Homo-oligomer: A and B are copies of this chain.
């Protein structure tokens, strides 16, 4: 290895080019700083190359397949059969990834961010080494933003081989459509995998992890999720403890204990939900004296600064929720602080969405959470059966639900299931952000007819004043 003779100076070094990292790099450059971005693998990180983008493209295709059955009544007559060809979708995926990556690379160039492919580690609090094959370059910088993201930790008995046993990233690289996919997990990623492959024609069985009996959502949403799974003929094994997994030429067999009874489920492939495992070790952050939390994550304040002045950490290496949306905001905030602004992150209002059979989206407090936190609450709910626009779309299996504070009428939580739920939830996000009260959302004008009118009806329902509730 050749260690560089001299030290290059930068104003900001960003380590990791995922969504958090590249947003940080661009924002810092926009604010006039000289920025180096070090990425070990691919610009865009897991989100762009393996996670969010591929999974949402696949979910989009799944949704289009489901919508085919509604075309006939709109007068759209198809002369022949409808076939699904996974290889075409994989080609499209490569195209989307390539275009988005090239887009990000062009933006980094536009802002004169220097991009280096290599493995970064701390030499000291001010000095970073970057290993690039045989070379090892030294950099010095006033500010460092750590955004190395995370890999996965799997349950001991379920190590993915990415041929028969997949994780959230490799499942979207599958080349042949699984005949029968076992999905071990109950988080949104697992639900998306189940929903998407079911639409493609795969038989799907969900095995709820760690003996769970419910998904982590408001009770009304939970009931709806189970109803949807049943309707889509996706089997669901609750309260299962996995004892072992056997992969063979026959497929994958999972041995389970369900309420004291031993049984096994056989599938052609297995998907395994995993815990994010932060990419910290290689960084040698102890050299820089950066404090870690007990669980190994990097401690930061709301400005995303670590215990070391000038060193920031964002995204999956921090204790915030492992979501691209969080990393993006954190990245901008860290960059703004590097540029002398005082910016902070408040993640109290985040939308959680599932690109599911029928989309699901939620923000703020569930009814149960609000009660647990000691709020006196009121709830309202409105079924899309009462929506004229849902009738037009023939998408009546959905509802919205709102949670508000008894005395003040302040809105605390928004929940939506069904067509356009992921669009609908943004009203909730903004309403929570603006500390809106019930009357703010009942006096509002939504396009007519549109699904958004459901929010008004849900809030009117709190006082039994929803117009279209039968």
Pairwise interchain contact B392-A60, C-beta atoms closer than 8 A: yes
Q: A361 interface residue, CB < 8 Å from B?
A: yes
A401-439, CB < 8 A from B: 420, 422-427, 429-431, 433-434, 436
Nearest B residue to A67, CB-CB? B64
For A424, the chain B residues whose CB sits under 8 A away are: 423
A56 to B393, CA, bound (A): 9
Contact partner, A431, options B52, B325, B430, B468, Cβ 8 Å: B430
Expressed in whole angstroms, the minimum distance between the Cβ of A35 and any Cβ of chain B is 13
Q: How many copies of this chain does one complex carry?
A: 2
Pairwise interchain contact B431-A361, C-beta atoms closer than 8 A: no
Pairwise interchain contact A445-B349, C-beta atoms closer than 8 A: yes
For A391, the chain B residues whose CB sits under 8 A away are: 96, 99-100
Q: From DSSP, what is the main secondary structure of chain A's interface residues?
A: helix
Pairwise interchain contact B64-A71, C-beta atoms closer than 8 A: yes
A91 to B430, CA, bound (A): 40
Q: A106 interface residue, CB < 8 Å from B?
A: yes
Contact partner, A448, options B61, B80, B328, B389, Cβ 8 Å: B328
Q: A440 interface residue, CB < 8 Å from B?
A: yes
Pairwise interchain contact B465-A27, C-beta atoms closer than 8 A: yes
Pairwise interchain contact A326-B64, C-beta atoms closer than 8 A: no
Which chain A residues have a beta carbon within 8 Å of chain B's beta carbons?
19, 23, 26-27, 30, 47-48, 52-53, 56-57, 60-61, 64-65, 67-68, 70-89, 91-92, 96, 99-100, 103, 106-107, 110, 323-326, 328-329, 332, 346-347, 349-351, 353, 361, 386, 388-389, 391-393, 420, 422-427, 429-431, 433-434, 436, 440-441, 443-450, 452, 464-465, 467-468, 470
Identify the 9 closest CB pairs spanning chains A and B, nearest first.
Answer: A79-B80, A80-B80, A75-B89, A423-B423, A61-B74, A75-B88, A434-B434, A79-B81, A325-B448
Q: List 29 A-B contacts (CB under 8 A).
A: A27-B465, A52-B448, A64-B70, A64-B71, A64-B74, A65-B76, A75-B86, A75-B87, A75-B92, A76-B82, A76-B83, A77-B85, A77-B88, A79-B81, A103-B470, A107-B467, A107-B470, A110-B470, A323-B448, A328-B448, A332-B467, A347-B445, A349-B444, A349-B445, A423-B450, A426-B447, A430-B444, A433-B444, A434-B440
